[in-house]
Structure 1
């Protein structure tokens, strides 16, 4: 009688070393270093945005007319200036002679931070004016993109041509609720912020991130109080009917 000896499969120890050489233009992921450009803004606005990375950072702001988009940009200007960034504001909707703009500056930008913020109401050469001054600032705020009368594809070009400049740009909506000029910037930006107008008054308007590569989304931030709205407040502040 022939007795067969059972065959025991030999265990092969897994290898952690790749046989492939790292290709030109690539790097092994285990060699990636933590970015030195990561930062977080102070206060609740920092909680809204999360841990930011300066490289090719862009924030888009859209929302209902009268929701407080411009007011919120001045709060952002104050937050960035408070973290040591030089901020350039292109106030193309209302200009730099407007009393409304002056009141917003007085309300939302603290006196110590105002030396870090510069304002202009002109972009005589459109997008070329923006490009001309981009390297002079750490943060460029544009209110709004539609006043530049240029294609929305230029937005992504700005990010790539000036990767060390942080972009904060308001995009106006059409009457149908879509972004004028196309939605491409919303895909290119790292953070999309939506300003929501409440039918119960400005004090209930809020901003939320509908997209955020650096933090959480749909955290409501009160434009009036400059604070994150807690769950109970959110329930009280929610509009009674859906806004189009």
Structure 2
């Protein structure tokens, strides 16, 4: 993982003393490609384009393993994005008059930004309140269909110590069941565990199977 640190900037309007920074995480997976949309992707994209971000995005605070470091947390996020193709999938504009996407692209490599908030000196109650506030503020910001991943991460840290992880998930990136799986994988990775290979069908494989069934039914 290669991390680049941007200059700190004011983060919370109601807390002018708090600063955060952006860390760029680079990923390089072994798979990539492109293909048509699945039916579920088509439906979710229509919702994303039609509804307000607050109706599409969902915030949550993910558990952090005891003793986890900030470096381990960033490394786990890199590994999580490399592990799951759905997190590396973008939807470029289509050629129709409204630009509605007609394909999905799985990126083999790329980068994404993680917000790191220095939260040393806060007790557990204050950390929980800060994490909840960060999630609520981030929910109102649209998640671009052309960007990866369609999850935004904010890490609360005390120097090298990781304290909290706040995630805002766009429904076009993961539904509730998929998010639960991502949380489990994240926790294991952040704890230094190795995970077995993913065996579930990829979005591109699902789209190909759907097209095959439609062709067979004609």
* TM-score normalised by L of structure 2: 0.31
Q: Which structure has more helix as a fraction of its residues? A: 2
Q: Identify, as 1 or 2, the structure richer in strand.
A: 2
Q: What's the TM-score once normalised by structure 1's chain length?
A: 0.28
Higher alpha-carbon Rg: 1
